[in-house]
Amino acid sequence: MSANIENNDLITPIILAGGRGARLWPISRLSRPKQFLPLFNGLSLFQQTLIRINDESFYEKPIILTNIEHQFLVVEQAAEMGIEPAAIIVEPAIRNTAPAIIAASLIAAKDEKDKLIHILPSDHIIKVDNAYLNALKIAKQGAKNGYLVTFGIKPNRPETGFGYIKARKIRAHEIKAEKAYLVEKFIEKPNLEKARKMLFSGDYYWNSGMFLFSSDVFLHECKKITPKIFTNAKRSVKQAQIDYPFIKLEEKSFLTSPPISIDKAIFEKTKLAAIVPSPIEWDDLGSWESVWRNKKRGKNNNLQIGSATISNSKNSLIFSEKTHIVVDGVDNIAIIASEDVVYVGNIAATQHIGNIVEKLGNNSKTAPFTQRSLIIHKEWGNYSIVLDEENLLIKRLFIKPGKDFPLREKDCQIVNLFVVRGTAKLRLGEKIITLNENKTASIEQGLAYNIYNPGKSTLEIIIMQINYR
């Protein structure tokens, strides 16, 4: 099957931004996964992905796939980059990548019969240079010729944290794309011995998780290979709720699909999978060891992020959000301190930190350490929890201009408000009160209220709730 795409057609990027956030725990949480952390030059990996596709000569506006938990964080970080998405598709639940990518491809091709689509994870480090652009051009040609193209990264070490792809070394003209090959098979994350063998073989590539294809060809293969997922995705799109820029997929149909990756659902089964060997600077930021590897290190090969004192130690990563950490006389160690958890382990062992997160998540006492981050993003702004004790909850609210924070606390005996910065319009039932900076107000138990920001800058408020449980 060939794709009917004009030579000057632009590519529609679909960015995957709905991950769980386990692998860079404890800084990364379910409510703030790794792609949204400002780890590199003050920008998140998601924002760096937006920069990478912000080229009007090559790309159309991006479609972003995320979930309910992160939709407003996506809006906020895209706005910081001055980028307006074509759409933000909201998954009602995490079902891995296959149902979501099929739904997004249906939406991308809704107004035009065929589109070139580039699937991009939002948590990878990629250097945009001539090697990257050349690989993209080769993949584009392969997609135009009717193939579902993957990008294979030439391994430079025996990596056990990545999946691999084996290429069939056939002549390039057989798929009509220079330096592209058919895929022979996909390989799950291997053990160290197998990874070494694949490294020395020369026929295996890291699976980058990036794909480029024609929407017509891709959707035809989906309908043929996995008709149930295709039908459910199509129904969830048809019944989606649209509140621009959000397209909220219909929940019942979407949840009917099994949680399965696009690799397993389609690419391992199709006969149209091709691979472009891509000699690009790439890394899947899948562990703290990879953060250590990809950032500039200092004295004794140590990487320090945040407040720390390091003595007589080497080859280590010390990361602190708030607490000052003192390290003395230990090597090859990772110490990661969030505001509520400290992780200490061998830096090579951080590849398996997801197992620890799963164990913590299965215990009701420790599950909150895997879920809640310091900052929770909402449509009206965001808030952080300053103190959470048995009978006292203190929140710090940041309300955007023109937005309001609605709340009714039936279980609170007392709610106290303090305006730190800006002016607040406080509605108490039928009564409206204006609160300027350094002003306070008390709210009776069970009284409905909301806070409105009439100003042109962010409103900052402290809320104290007593006996709120």
Per-residue model confidence as pLDDT tens for the chain (469 residues): 556 655 558 999 999 998 766 789 998 887 778 898 888 878 899 999 999 999 888 899 999 999 888 888 899 899 999 999 999 999 998 888 999 999 999 999 987 778 999 999 998 889 888 989 999 999 999 999 999 999 999 888 888 888 899 988 765 455 555 678 889 999 988 888 998 998 888 889 999 999 999 999 999 999 999 999 999 999 999 999 998 899 999 999 999 999 999 999 999 999 999 999 988 888 888 789 989 988 889 999 999 999 999 999 999 999 998 899 999 999 999 999 988 899 999 999 998 888 898 899 899 888 888 877 667 778 788 888 888 777 888 889 999 899 888 766 555 677 888 999 999 999 887 788 999 999 998 887 777 788 999 998 999 999 988 875 5
Q: Quick one: pLDDT at residue 374?
A: 67
Structure tokens at 255: 């949840």
Place of tokens 């580039």: 118
CATH classification number, 380-466, choose in 2.60.120.10, 1.10.3720.10, 3.40.50.970, 1.20.200.10: 2.60.120.10
- How far is residue 100's CA from residue 92's CA, in Å, rounded to a whole number? 10
Q: Quick one: pLDDT at residue 379?
A: 79
Using DSSP's 3-state secondary structure scheme, residue 142 falls into helix
In the chain, where does the domain assigned CATH 3.90.550.10 lie? 11-284
Q: Quick one: pLDDT at residue 127?
A: 87
6 C-beta neighbours (distance < 10 Å), count: 9
Biggest distance spanned by C-alpha atoms of the chain: 77
3-state secondary structure 159-225: CCCCCEEEEECCCHHHCCCCCCEEEEEEECCCCHHHHHHHHHHCCEEEEEEEEEEEHHHHHHHHHHH
In the chain, where does the domain assigned CATH 2.60.120.10 lie? 380-466
CATH code for the part of the protein at 11-284: 3.90.550.10
290 C-beta neighbours (distance < 10 Å), count: 19
Kind of pairing between the strands at 303-305 and 404-407: unpaired
Structure tokens at 84: 């307006």
- How far is residue 154's CA from residue 279's CA, in Å, rounded to a whole number? 6
Q: Quick one: pLDDT at residue 434?
A: 93
Nearby residues of 162 by Cβ (< 8 Å), 6 or more positions away: 155, 189, 206, 207, 284, 286
Q: Which residue in 54, 58, 203 sits closest to 135, CA to CA?
A: 58
- How far is residue 139's CA from residue 244's CA, in Å, rounded to a whole number? 31
